[in-house]
Amino acid sequence: MNKIALREQLTAFLNEDIGFGDASSVLIDHRETSLATVSAKVDGVFCGMDVVLEMAQMQRLVVESCQPDGAVVSAGDTLFILRGKTRTLLETERVLLNLVQHLSGIATMTRRCVERLDDPTIAVTDTRKTTPGLRMLEKHAVRSGGGKNHRLRLDDAIMIKDNHITALGGITNAVARARMLAGHTTPVEVEVETLEQLHEAIAANADIIMLDNRTPEELKAWRALVPPHIKTEASGGITVETIAAYRDTGVDVISIGQLTHSVTALDCSLNLVGGIKHAVTRNDANTIR
């Protein structure tokens, strides 16, 4: 996690939401302090500790406790507790919860995919189908859920896809140009859609071959043709509902766009301790005076 980049992002997010000031929270005495608990409303996997800690420091709040990234939580569990000026807690609430809910949703989806695949020989990875501006955080959430990251940016690896193959006149020429121009630490991956392309990618000695939109049965058959030193990646249309069918296919990686582009946020809420909403949430309204 790049903490410098994180702070810049959080500053921009707070500026977007607060504007020239919280017109509601300004009604509260500026000297008043509160304790706020953030609780999960559904089961899932928590992610967002870095966001909580950094935003608390920026907003001069104290983090009393916080679940670690990757923690499995149940509905009703406390995710984190903050103490500080009541005005500041309330002006910070929405940005903080938006991020934590989104990241925890990604971590939860990733954990479900890993568990349903149930094959430790295959890495579950994300893609570049991320929310603009949130890629660093979203890919961190994937790792928190037990997955791994594909390339972060276009400069991380050479990935020769269908349009590159068309523009460069074929896989052989594309890989040759990649080897000529790239440094020795830059891997070359080739996407293939036909058996003819697979054989061409093998002959060109690509580092990784992406087998696009193949059935589990086709993946097993195609993987058997690839030398062991070339890694294979399955991609295209694989979801949490279908991933179990790809167990034991022999591929090294399954990349899933759904991990970041179609997740449901992990619902949670922030409540000031002593408030009626906090009491109802915890089923102890009779203790409120």
Residues known to be catalytic = 94, 129, 161, 191, 212
CB-based contacts of 99: which residues, under 8 Å, 6+ apart? 13, 48, 51, 137
DSSP conformational letter for 148: B
Closest CA to 254 of 127, 113, 125: 125
CB-based contacts of 198: which residues, under 8 Å, 6+ apart? 192, 209, 211, 222, 225, 226
Q: Are 206 and 175 in contact (CB under 8 A)?
A: yes
Token pair for 48: 């967002």
- For 128-160, b where at least 16 C-beta lie within 10 A, e where not — what string? bbbeeebbebbbbbbbbbbbebbbeeeeebbbb
d(CA 211, CA 274): 56
Closest CA to 215 of 191, 249, 190: 249
Token pair for 180: 């000529």
Token pair for 13: 């997010």
Q: What percent of the chain is helix, strand and coil (3-state, nearest 5)?
A: 45, 20, 40
